[in-house]
């Protein structure tokens, strides 16, 4: 059912949400609001479509050059406009940025907007128990014995936590004898609070607690400030294909900002209600009370420029660009933030999948228009630029310049960036297997250039420079061993898959002074552009049938395992067992790599369609077995919608715009919803 507003045909559920929940309390007149919305669509839809056409035109020229045997080098890419001139040196002018983004280095969560329980867990992950994180994971070798508290395991946890405290807060225990400590900033009752590298550590003293009772200082836990920021995701980790899905996402975002989001669920035979944590109150060394935020600072990730949504039909009957709708409505919801999220009055929107500076400039103009519609000051809406498309990473300084007065975030990420690398050079030849991509020349240049270009543009102290996700939530020992490389690289945030991982990753930001690292890196030039443009081709390589089958099985299993949940259950991100039964966090970006990798091999004859179909049949049986305990799971038969979607992602992969998976996923998910 649709309702007409200002010439737009809008799903009634969306109109109801806007007029009954989002507009009340904002002093915005509904009629004027809808008129302004219609005006934004009228002004920006033609430009949005033109930018997408430009993407297609550039890709067509690159494809044609590869087919003709031309060198697709820097000179060629400049000739066709794929590369632009480097801007003269500049410094971003972003102002009114919260400290969590500008001046604090720490972990970042990304959480799907459709799941209220996950959202609450993530927002509340600002503080985490180090004892729990160590006790319940493989961060310490072994595991707790079943049947209650394991004293031996508990002793190992306490010992590991003490080692950490000795390392980052030497002499910490002296405060219990009344001595001063340079990092001590306050107390909560008998519990001391320390600040180190911008992050807080609370030693929770509770002598009535079973652990605190036996501790010489009464310490029952070590509480770390953990997920400093969280990205509430409307994009890669969600399956939002219609108005009902979009309204749920907007409603949850509104509830977070209003502070009234709740979720009731059953656990352990009890009914529990989860709410947002309050702020934390301490007494300073001068006797005055102060508060620290109890919740993570929230970004919201809008969708990119590509997709449209049936939630709004334009006057010509076509679907409205989803990214424009997101910009308007996520910002409208943010008017309900009264300092519970941003204390500077800023709205933080992460914008993914932009290709080059023209698209970044389009976003800047769009945000100007949304600010005018909502009565916001200029640049109140801040932007995070996802540096995960080849044309953006190759023109990063120009992209930053296009949003220089509102940018608060750039990042590198292996996933979408690898999918775009494969698709952009699809016609060049067969690519190396995806497992080898992480050691290829372009990825190191990409990671290093991102940080150094960001620093040269003045992001340090004003914005986040981020790194990608740790994908294995059950492998915390490996994370502790490897992910310290992110702060060491100069990144002042990096993605983690869970609140527990955020608590453990927080240890790295005590062990590494990121801002000191950034000062050193400012003196280093970024790697040359030609390194970034080195295509990861498998030149002259011949694979055995066993090698081909192994790579096809690996990719097909990942595709099926993810797609079956997306299509049948609407789960956009989850821990999916891989081919070796290791749980990995999968989203549309991982799907893009796997589908593009097989499509590339098919195109260049490394494998045949028959071999691909054989791999899908083998892996369907494996995925069925891996999901045997899920009562909502539907087996993968060759005529099932999910199976058809998985095949289409591969066999139609070359033709998909920029290799994105969204168009096909949305198509097949809509079919599944209609059937059910």
Spans of the chain, pLDDT less than 70: none
User: How does 428-455 read in b/e, with b if 16+ C-beta sit within 10 Å?
Assistant: bbbbbbbeebeebebbebbbbbbbbbbb
Tokens found for residue 149: 């508290």
Q: What is the pLDDT of residue 436?
A: 95
Q: How many CB atoms within 10 Å of residue 588?
A: 22
* Residues assigned a catalytic role: 301, 587
Q: Identify the burial level of 123 via C-beta atoms within 10 angstroms of its C-beta, where 0-12 means exposed, 13-18 middle and 19 or more buried.
A: buried
Q: Count the alpha carbons within 13 Å of 135 in the hemisphere toward its beta carbon.
A: 19
The tens digit of pLDDT for each residue in 577-608 reads 999 999 999 999 999 999 999 999 999 999 99
CA gap 288, 299 in Å, rounded: 31
Is the full-model pTM beyond 0.85?
yes
User: How does 203-216 read in b/e, with b if 16+ C-beta sit within 10 Å?
Assistant: bbbbeeeebbeebe
In angstroms, how far is CA 157 from the centroid of its own chain? Answer: 30
Q: What is the pLDDT of residue 344?
A: 97
Q: What is the pLDDT of residue 559?
A: 97
Q: What is the pLDDT of residue 269?
A: 87
501 neighbors 508 (Cβ within 8 angstroms)? no
Q: What is the pLDDT of residue 415?
A: 87
Tokens found for residue 595: 């589908």
Length of the chain (residues): 676
Q: How many CB atoms within 10 Å of residue 527?
A: 17
Which is nearest to 462 in space by CA: 396, 408, 523, 384?
A: 408
CA gap 473, 272 in Å, rounded: 24
CA gap 623, 584 in Å, rounded: 14
Q: Which residues contact 240 (CB under 8 A, 6 or more apart)?
A: 113, 114, 234, 246, 248, 249, 572
Q: What is the pLDDT of residue 65?
A: 98
The tens digit of pLDDT for each residue in 492-540 reads 999 999 999 999 999 999 999 999 999 999 999 999 999 999 999 999 8
Q: What is the pLDDT of residue 268?
A: 84
- Which residues in 572-659 belong to E strands, given as ranges? 574-577, 583-586
Q: What is the pLDDT of residue 267?
A: 86
176 neighbors 271 (Cβ within 8 angstroms)? no
């Amino acid at each position: 059912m649709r309702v007409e507003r200002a010439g737009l045909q809008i799903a009634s559920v969306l109109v109801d949400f806007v007029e009954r929940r989002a507009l009340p309390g904002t002093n915005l007149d509904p009629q004027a609001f809808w008129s302004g919305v219609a005006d934004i669509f009228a002004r920006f839809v033609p430009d949005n479509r033109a930018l997408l056409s430009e993407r297609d035109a550039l890709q067509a020229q690159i494809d044609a050059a590869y087919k003709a045997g031309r060198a697709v080098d820097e000179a060629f890419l400049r000739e066709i406009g794929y590369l632009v001139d480097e801007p003269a040196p500049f410094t971003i002018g972003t102002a009114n940025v919260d400290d969590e983004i500008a001046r604090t280095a720490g972990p970042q969560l990304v959480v799907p907007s459709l799941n209220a329980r996950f959202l609450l867990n993530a927002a509340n992950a600002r503080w985490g128990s180090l004892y729990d994180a160590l006790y319940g994971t493989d961060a310490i070798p072994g595991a707790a014995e079943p049947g209650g508290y394991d004293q031996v395991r508990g002793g190992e946890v306490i010992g590991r936590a003490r080692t950490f405290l000795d390392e980052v807060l030497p002499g910490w225990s002296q405060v219990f004898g009344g001595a001063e400590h340079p990092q001590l900033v306050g107390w909560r009752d008998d519990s001391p609070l320390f600040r180190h590298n911008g992050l807080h550590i609370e030693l929770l003293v509770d002598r009535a607690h079973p652990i605190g009772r036996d501790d010489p200082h009464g310490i029952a836990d070590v509480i770390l400030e953990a997920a400093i920021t969280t990205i509430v995701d409307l994009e890669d980790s969600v399956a939002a294909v219609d108005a009902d899905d979009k309204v749920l996402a907007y409603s949850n975002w509104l509830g977070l900002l209003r502070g009234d989001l709740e979720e009731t669920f059953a656990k352990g035979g009890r009914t529990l209600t989860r709410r947002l944590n309050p702020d934390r109150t301490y007494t300073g060394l001068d006797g005055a009370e102060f508060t620290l935020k109890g919740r993570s600072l929230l970004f919201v990730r809008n969708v990119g420029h590509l997709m449209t949504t049936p939630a709004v039909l334009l006057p010509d009957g076509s679907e409205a660009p989803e990214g424009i709708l997101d910009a308007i409505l996520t910002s409208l919801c943010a008017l309900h933030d009264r300092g519970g999220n941003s204390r500077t009055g800023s709205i933080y929107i992460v914008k993914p999948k932009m290709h080059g500076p023209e698209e970044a400039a389009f976003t800047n103009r769009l945000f100007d228009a949304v600010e005018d519609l909502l009565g916001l000051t200029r640049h109140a809406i801040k932007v995070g630029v996802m540096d995960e498309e080849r044309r953006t990473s190759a023109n990063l300084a120009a992209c930053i310049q296009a949003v220089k007065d509102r940018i608060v975030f750039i990042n590198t990420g292996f996933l979408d960036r690898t999918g775009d690398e494969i698709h952009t050079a699809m016609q060049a030849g067969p690519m190396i297997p995806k497992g080898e991509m992480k050691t290829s020349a372009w990825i190191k240049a990409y990671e290093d250039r991102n940080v150094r270009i960001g620093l040269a543009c003045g992001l340090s102290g004003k914005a986040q420079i981020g790194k990608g996700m740790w994908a294995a939530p059950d492998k915390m020992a490996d994370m502790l061993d490897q992910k310290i490389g992110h702060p060491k690289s100069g990144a002042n945030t990096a993605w983690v898959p869970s609140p527990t991982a955020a608590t453990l990753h927080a240890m790295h930001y005590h062990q590494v002074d990121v801002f000191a690292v950034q000062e050193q890196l400012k003196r280093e030039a970024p790697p040359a552009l030609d390194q970034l443009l080195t295509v990861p081709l498998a030149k002259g390589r011949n694979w055995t049938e066993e090698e081909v089958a192994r790579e096809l099985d690996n990719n097909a299993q990942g595709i099926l395992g993810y797609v079956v949940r997306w299509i049948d259950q609407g789960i956009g991100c989850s821990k999916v067992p891989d081919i070796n039964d290791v749980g990995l966090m999968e989203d549309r970006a991982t799907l893009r790599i796997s589908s593009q990798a097989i499509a590339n091999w098919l195109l260049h004859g490394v494998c045949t369609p028959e071999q691909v179909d054989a791999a899908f049949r083998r892996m369907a049986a494996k995925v069925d077995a891996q999901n045997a305990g899920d009562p909502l799971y539907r087996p993968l038969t060759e005529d099932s919608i999910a199976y058809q979607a998985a095949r289409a992602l591969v066999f139609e992969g070359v033709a998909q715009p920029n290799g994105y998976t969204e168009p096909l996923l949305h198509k097949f998910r809509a079919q599944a919803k209609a059937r059910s």
